[in-house]
Structure 1
């Protein structure tokens, strides 16, 4: 079990099960063997009778490892064909924008997807310079293309497992609204893909498909300048002129991810005093310190994974990093170290609502059920409505598109917000924009985001938070997702009367896939991860660390009871 606490330093502290390798560079013998990984992608064939080897869309696409036969050529073939069927069923006939990150399995998965998409005659837009393409650049391209259109709508695919370990691969689908696909869409694609898996590789090989060489030369495969289209538009969401004139010294670590070519372009285009601390692209990610469990993850919200940038915190006015597909961010300041994502999101909301006068006054603040209660207190102070949804950025896409949401954020460091004129930017998470906003905030206010957060806590309360994580089998994850209010036998939580037990989110009444228990000065939520074989317990208290630990202990007892008998 790992436990991460929000505190002034941003350093995760925790239980005895934290790996002795956490926060340290691993020796090369512990790095992923890329050759064997790619060989397994082509040679291992999933068994659809084994649940773990089927296509399964979590909170953000299908992810897995070729070593475990959970992300292989057959999976990508099946998903790609299923996406083609979905487009045909829905009448989506505009271009498909495709992005790819720097994971070792992303290149072969991209080749497989291109073979299918070209074989089906899709108009496919790929990066003009052959560079990697961040998730937000794909969302930006879709939204830009579809603005004002009612026909010929575009959609997109991103080949990425996000911040997951180097032996993972992933693929996700973004429909014409530009954000992560809704559950109804992914359920349909998942069902179709698993039917194809059951039909076997021989059947799939007879379906429309061309060689990758033919696919790349096809008249329907066209270059698109994701990089410059995105970079040239940044001044419409962040005050880039202010960043330039302030001379603020910023630092960025792309963590070897898809934005590695974007940051130099941003520096050149806007003449920023921004140091890129590392430009390495290496599919082993051997330059990354290990995460809490001793595995490498490119997670900018993890103090273990971010040790490299945290060590440089005094070299910059503000520094930041993004994950592998650049849809998550981590903010580092000299005073606070690595800011917990909830802390930075609270500071972001307060700053943006004060300094974006063109934003619609009725636009709400989007948060997930595991976001800080401080966001609710701040929204009340600002006179804005809270829109609270289950974990997953897909729940925010429609609101960002029609500007009924001003800003939306997840506890896992995924955020997006409206342009300066109050219209849609992207409908998926964007790691680059909140990173640059940290500089704007400091340039305008003279305080870094950590100091701005502390100022807010003086008026609204100073919570402490923690997140526990532990490995879980599919059966255990299913048992946890099925938790109901009657599993909570106590009427009190850490000494306070329980006010509410939620299994559905207040904002949209959607199941949260677990439960949340709330009292006046604290809450906890328990749910399985939608992206990795683990479960998570989140807790927050406004009465200090002792109260938080009491709250988490009671939460753990409920989870332990739920997992009894589940294998």
Structure 2
């Protein structure tokens, strides 16, 4: 069954991600576009550096044009945030992005980006899935017709870069005499950070800056474990920062000058702090239910609201559009700010990281210590617990009944079920337990004032739930 998860449909190539299934999804997207009278505005079709992504994109374009939908096809591999920007820039009716983001090389995927240039909300993907089911039941095979409107090749890279630079303090970066190492991990983000930073006078070194569909035998995931080469290069070259992108450049990993990995939770907190203290911005912050509460403390100090959403950047994008949030982010690395498209963007996040070092004249680690001195230090960790499929129903029932008065020696002062079960403790610590929607895995997100307390909370939750 073809299902759109937290961020699109993904599958193993030649197993379930086949040309036939890609054409089926493209036909359903065409059904959606036509039903909402968006065909005349056109659909952007983008693709990343994965094996056959360009061929899959060509199939999507053929199906769309065969249904009379105008298509803007990327001239080259493009990052997801650039394709989202193209929707806004071209005033298109939406976009189809061929990518599996940070998944292993054997995967590929499809994201649908609606006309508002952010991730598709559930009501949109539900409608597309319904069109897929109708086509499967009727046996309707989408045609890749040559008689429809001619596809138009497009490359929004320059317009995107000009837009991002307007969101950044380029003057401060230009004066800072910085050195930055960029690692796009063989992905679609190759060249973007390098060219923007070099144009501002930053000395830039680049790693893994050519297409490799096997991603060097690893994953295009900018986690601490996958950025060891970047870390070593930053230390060897004496760089101020190392910036790593995932396969479609919508997420960022940061290595500080001393080799410290700056987590997405920490980066989001720093960006929010920077926007309100250095830029003088005022407004709420959006975070998912699984993301750090350090931003809550900063917001409270500034008299601003926190918008808590379910997991998934589509909900963060919605908050950016509907609540006027100045920044929104998630613990998995997605981030965007006011004035940008409501899509997570690792390139923009990287430019903001460079701006913070340039403006404050200190490392991100030092800046984070100052934030900790002011608001308290929080330690976050995600623990994935694999369970047999037969155990999942019982654990889910235990979660529904999970209403303890105390946990790990602290009174429970809040219980929330926006997405999973979240318990907030009197001292500000919290834990969230969510079930994966695609595999027998439960994720335990925990944040507390010390690593030891994080472990105590994790152990207490596992005992109570049977995990």
Same fold (TM over 0.5): yes
* Contact 1:333 1:448 survives alignment (8 Å): yes
Identify the residue that residue 261 of structure 2 maps to in structure 1: 338
Identify the residue that residue 435 of structure 2 maps to in structure 1: 528
Deviation at 1:58, TM superposition (A): 0.8
Deviation at 1:484, TM superposition (A): 7.4
What SS is found at the alignment partner of 2:455? helix
- Of residues 137, 141, 161 in structure 1, which corresponds to 2:82? 137
* Contact 1:142 1:156 survives alignment (8 Å): yes
Q: Could you state the TM-score of these two structures normalised by the residue count of structure 1?
A: 0.77
The 1:155/1:286 distance shift into structure 2, 3 A limit, reads same
Deviation at 1:401, TM superposition (A): 3.5
Looking at structure 1, the residues matched to 6 and 67 of structure 2 have their Cα atoms a distance apart, in angstroms, of: 27
Identify the residue that residue 367 of structure 1 maps to in structure 2: 287
Looking at structure 2, the residues matched to 396 and 434 of structure 1 have their Cα atoms a distance apart, in angstroms, of: 15
Deviation at 1:336, TM superposition (A): 5.5
* Contact 2:402 2:465 survives alignment (8 Å): no
Deviation at 1:106, TM superposition (A): 2.1
Identify the residue that residue 554 of structure 1 maps to in structure 2: 460
- Residue 64 of structure 2 corresponds to residue 117 of structure 1: yes
- Of residues 395, 416, 421 in structure 2, which corresponds to 1:502? 416
- Of residues 350, 353, 369 in structure 1, which corresponds to 2:276? 353
Deviation at 1:61, TM superposition (A): 0.4
Listed one character per residue, the Cα deviations across residues 181-236 of structure 1 (whole Å, up to 9, x for unaligned) are 11111111112213323444xx31xx3323xxx59xx7531122211111122221
Deviation at 1:387, TM superposition (A): 0.3
The 1:168/1:489 distance shift into structure 2, 3 A limit, reads same
- Of residues 317, 328, 345 in structure 2, which corresponds to 1:408? 328
What SS is found at the alignment partner of 2:216? coil
Identify the residue that residue 539 of structure 1 maps to in structure 2: 446
Deviation at 1:549, TM superposition (A): 0.8
Task: Kindly report the root-mean-square deviation, in angstroms, between the aligned alpha carbons of the 2 structures.
Answer: 2.3
- Residue 227 of structure 2 corresponds to residue 306 of structure 1: yes
Identify the residue that residue 175 of structure 1 maps to in structure 2: 114
Looking at structure 2, the residues matched to 473 and 346 of structure 1 have their Cα atoms a distance apart, in angstroms, of: 36
- Residue 128 of structure 2 corresponds to residue 192 of structure 1: no
Which segment is superposed worse, 105-114 or 441-450? 105-114
Q: Could you state the TM-score of these two structures normalised by the residue count of structure 2?
A: 0.92
Deviation at 1:261, TM superposition (A): 3.4
Deviation at 1:272, TM superposition (A): 2.9
In structure 1, the gaps of 5 or more residues are: 1-53, 147-152, 288-295, 419-423, 505-511, 562-567
What SS is found at the alignment partner of 2:82? helix
The 1:264/1:303 distance shift into structure 2, 3 A limit, reads closer
Looking at structure 2, the residues matched to 311 and 451 of structure 1 have their Cα atoms a distance apart, in angstroms, of: 20
Listed one character per residue, the Cα deviations across residues 64-121 of structure 1 (whole Å, up to 9, x for unaligned) are 1135x33222321221111111111112231211221112242332132122112112
Moved over 6 A (4+): 473-480
Identify the residue that residue 385 of structure 1 maps to in structure 2: 305
Looking at structure 1, the residues matched to 465 and 138 of structure 2 have their Cα atoms a distance apart, in angstroms, of: 38
Identify the residue that residue 75 of structure 1 maps to in structure 2: 21
The equivalences for 1:15-94 within 5 A come to 54-66=1-13, 69-93=15-39, 94=41
Deviation at 1:475, TM superposition (A): 7.3
* Contact 2:119 2:314 survives alignment (8 Å): yes
* Contact 1:177 1:401 survives alignment (8 Å): no
Identify the residue that residue 230 of structure 1 maps to in structure 2: 160
In structure 2, the gaps of 5 or more residues are: none
Identify the residue that residue 27 of structure 1 maps to in structure 2: none
Looking at structure 2, the residues matched to 79 and 476 of structure 1 have their Cα atoms a distance apart, in angstroms, of: 33
What SS is found at the alignment partner of 1:58? coil
- Residue 316 of structure 2 corresponds to residue 396 of structure 1: yes
The equivalences for 1:119-268 within 5 A come to 119-127=66-74, 130-146=75-91, 153-200=92-139, 203-204=140-141, 207-210=142-145, 214=146, 219-267=149-197
Deviation at 1:258, TM superposition (A): 0.6
